[in-house]
Amino acid sequence: MIRVGVMGACGRMGREICRTVVDDPELELVAAFDREYQGMEIGALIGRPVEGVLVETNLEKLLAETEVDVMIDFTVADAMRANVPQVLKKGIAVVTGTTGLSAEERAEMGKLAEENNTSMFHAANYAIGAVLMMKFAAEAAKYMPHVEVIELHHDKKLDAPSGTAVTTLAKIAENRTAFKQGMADEYEKIEGARGGEYEGMRVHSVRLPGFVASQEVIFGGLGQTLTIRHDSLSRESFMPGIALAAKKVRSWTGLVEDLENIL
């Protein structure tokens, strides 16, 4: 059994992760960390029979008193910056889907993991379909280099564009020579109407209640368009990937990124 702790355990994503850990015969939920609900039984929050696991708001205390093999982090960038280094310094492996950190910041955490003989895994998206969407988009860019990305998330998401969109653009850029799309003298009547820019490609972020996580990549060519779209209809879509990462993360030292690299 792999002893798992969850940071951000009381949020919507955190609760779903806790349920997944409890339901998986290879994983054991031993710790729940959050900024609120101090002392509450996590089982009462997730609707599962979990004995003896209380929500802890003091990470230092939790790490001192609980034996954890893998800590799963789905919080926000500032919390990750503060908390993940503490976990890595204890020699505990980390699986994270938190976005908003730069590649340099993640690399620094990976170096910290190496220094403490432990490991870290990061992915912007843990849904298998999203991995395929990015793979197909990168392949299509070889033949249709005119492309824009539209990502759609719930209105509680803080960062824009999403980590998935940034990763998608980076993967496309590997197969596409950078150039500025659209008319050279185009202008915006409303600032931001053309979205953000990444190596000449445009990216647009939608934030509305009702969405979980969706993204479409639209390619334009002579007399045709191609749209590649993925929709996560519930947070359950991310759970198989998260569970897989929790089981595999201790098999290396340092940082590994992107789900396709552990499938």
Choose, from 89, 90, 135, 157, the residue flagged as catalytic. 157
Instruction: For residues 31 and 50, give the distance between their C-alpha atoms in angstroms, rounded to a whole number.
Output: 11
> For this structure, is 157 an active site residue?
yes
> For this structure, is 122 an active site residue?
no
Question: In a 10 Å sphere around its CB, with 0-12 CB exposed, 13-18 middle and 19+ buried, how is residue 147 labelled?
Answer: buried
Instruction: For residues 154 and 181, give the distance between their C-alpha atoms in angstroms, rounded to a whole number.
Output: 28
Instruction: For residues 163 and 177, give the distance between their C-alpha atoms in angstroms, rounded to a whole number.
Output: 22
Q: What angle do CA 62, 27, 86 make, to 5 degrees?
A: 30
Choose, from 122, 153, 171, 230, the residue flagged as catalytic. 153
Which phi and psi angles does 118 have, rounded to 5°?
Answer: -135, -165
Q: Beta strand pairing status for 201-207 and 146-153?
A: parallel
Both tokens of 252, joined, read 């290396």
3-class SS of residue 40: coil
Known catalytic residues are 153, 157
